[in-house]
Chains A and B, each alone.
Chain A
């Protein structure tokens, strides 16, 4: 709200301020309940990325990049990938790749059950959410002005 010209109109900004937290919370819910109800790491990660994209579309890119900068998104994505791979490698404690190394799997339909599956869901959601947000950020920051100059340069080069 510091710069009223940035982003969309006041109506969109107010609605966004009310709903963006709920969208983020719903993404986290889908990730954490991925082994009980439909959903899982991929869908939840995309919903988390969509909440940040919602913020960026409504308020302009500075506000969203202050919440989660591009370098932080890169680090989070690599962290998710390393976490997923290390969970898979920890399976060698029990003998083979992707071994479910928790012996007490808990009762079904409980939140803390199913061994490594919730941990894998969290890792995949970090990777997918941060990766898709990084892709969107790069596509937005690559402004049409640069594209026009790029096209004009190419046209000049071909004319020569």
Chain B
């Protein structure tokens, strides 16, 4: 029940974040979505994910507020609000109909289709010696996945440092 309330709150905050005119209020609404997601992870008994989500959300909020605090982008409004509303409702309806038929065939909540997951839960402690089963999975059984994630973060940092660098930037002072 709490999970459904949290999901409704997150949907409402996401709609507010898209629709509001002030940019700073929109950023704070996005932060509300992230904190709601962190509480949802706690309800689903995944404290590792909750800690990571909370901490990364705070970092992203600081960066976003720092980036948007001086700039306010004008909202573009045109006169075709009737057409826009009708097309939005139409696409939401199509999505809901398709999702109703697609989600019926998914396995039930909390019952994974992979048989190997049960083996990780049973043998994790004696094979790796780590008491935290999440650490034993992401750093021992599934080390390749963590290596790929680390590579993604490394590439992202390199990209930001290369785009925002001072050295080699062309100066056109006279124009």
Q: Do A and B bind each other?
A: yes
Do the beta carbons of A157 and B175 come within 8 Å of each other?
Answer: yes
A153 at the interface (CB under 8 A from B): yes
| B86-133 with Cβ < 8 A to chain A | 125, 128-132
* Complex CA–CA separation, A58 to B51 (angstroms): 24
Do the beta carbons of A43 and B125 come within 8 Å of each other?
Answer: no
* Complex CA–CA separation, A156 to B172 (angstroms): 12
* Complex CA–CA separation, A142 to B166 (angstroms): 9
Of A57, A120, A135, A156, the contact of B139 (CB 8 Å cutoff): A120
Min CB distance A72 to B, Å, is: 14
Do the beta carbons of B161 and A138 come within 8 Å of each other?
Answer: yes
Do the beta carbons of A116 and B139 come within 8 Å of each other?
Answer: yes
Residue among A50, A85, A100 facing the most chain B CB atoms (10 A cut-off): A100
| B143-175 with Cβ < 8 A to chain A | 143-144, 146-147, 150, 153-154, 156-157, 160-161, 164-166, 172, 175
Do the beta carbons of A42 and B52 come within 8 Å of each other?
Answer: yes
Can you list 30 pairs linking A and B with CB atoms under 8 Å apart? Answer: A34-B135, A35-B130, A35-B136, A36-B132, A37-B132, A40-B48, A40-B52, A43-B51, A46-B55, A46-B56, A50-B58, A53-B59, A84-B150, A108-B129, A113-B130, A114-B130, A114-B135, A114-B136, A115-B128, A127-B153, A127-B154, A132-B59, A134-B161, A138-B160, A138-B161, A139-B164, A140-B66, A144-B70, A156-B175, A157-B175
Q: Hey, which chain B residues are within 8 Å of A34, CB to CB?
A: 132, 135
Min CB distance B90 to A, Å, is: 37
Residues of chain B at the chain A interface (Cβ within 8 Å): 47-48, 50-52, 55-56, 58-59, 62-63, 66-67, 70-71, 125, 128-132, 134-136, 138-140, 143-144, 146-147, 150, 153-154, 156-157, 160-161, 164-166, 172, 175
Do the beta carbons of B55 and A128 come within 8 Å of each other?
Answer: no
